[in-house]
Amino acid sequence: MDIKVKYYYLVCFLCYVFSFNSLAEYVDNHCASEDIEIIKKQLNISNFAPRNNGGVIISSACKQWSYNKNHLITAFAYDSGNEEQKDLYVSIIDKNNRHIIHSLKSTINEDSTVAVGPFSLKLDTAKYQLSDNLRAFGLRFYSSALGPSCGSGYQNDQLTLYIPDGEYLRPVLTLNTAVQRWLKGCPAEVSDSLVEEATLTISVANTSSNGFHDLIVTAKIMTSSPSVEPKHKIEHYVLHYNGHSYQSLPQRPWWLDF
Question: Do 59 and 70 reside in the same domain of the chain?
Answer: yes
Question: Do 7 and 57 reside in the same domain of the chain?
Answer: no
Instruction: Classify residue 74: in a domain, yes or no.
Output: yes
The closest of 106, 138, 109, 136 to 122, measured between CA atoms, is 138
Instruction: Classify residue 254: in a domain, yes or no.
Output: no
Q: For residue 42, is pLDDT > 80?
A: yes
Instruction: Classify residue 93: in a domain, yes or no.
Output: yes
Number of domains in the chain: 2
Question: Do 10 and 72 reside in the same domain of the chain?
Answer: no
Classify burial at 136, counting beta carbons within 10 Å of its beta carbon; exposed 0-12, middle 13-18, buried 19 or more: buried
Range of the domain at 132: 31-247
Instruction: Classify residue 257: in a domain, yes or no.
Output: no
Instruction: Classify residue 256: in a domain, yes or no.
Output: no
pLDDT digits (tens, 9 = 90+) for 48-64: 999 999 999 999 999 99
- CA distances to 89, 126, 208, 215 from 241, in Å: 25, 19, 8, 9
Cβ(187)–Cβ(193) under 8 Å? yes
pLDDT given at position 190 = 59
How far apart are the C-alpha atoms of 208 and 187, rounded to whole Å?
A: 43
pLDDT-derived band at 47 (thresholds 50, 70, 90) equals: very high
DSSP string, 135-151: EEEEEEE---S--PPTT
Question: Do 53 and 1 reside in the same domain of the chain?
Answer: no
Question: Do 66 and 169 reside in the same domain of the chain?
Answer: yes
Question: Do 10 and 70 reside in the same domain of the chain?
Answer: no
The closest of 74, 226, 246, 254 to 155, measured between CA atoms, is 254
Instruction: Classify residue 86: in a domain, yes or no.
Output: yes
Instruction: Classify residue 253: in a domain, yes or no.
Output: no
Question: Do 123 and 165 reside in the same domain of the chain?
Answer: yes
pLDDT digits (tens, 9 = 90+) for 149-167: 665 677 899 999 999 999 9
Question: Do 41 and 110 reside in the same domain of the chain?
Answer: yes
Q: For residue 243, is pLDDT > 90?
A: yes
State the chain's mean pLDDT as an integer: 86
Question: Do 13 and 110 reside in the same domain of the chain?
Answer: no
Q: For residue 13, is pLDDT > 60?
A: no
pLDDT digits (tens, 9 = 90+) for 175-222: 999 998 888 776 555 567 788 999 999 999 999 999 999 999 999 999
Instruction: Classify residue 255: in a domain, yes or no.
Output: no
Question: Do 133 and 153 reside in the same domain of the chain?
Answer: yes
Question: Do 17 and 119 reside in the same domain of the chain?
Answer: no
pTM metric for this prediction: 0.85
Question: Do 17 and 71 reside in the same domain of the chain?
Answer: no
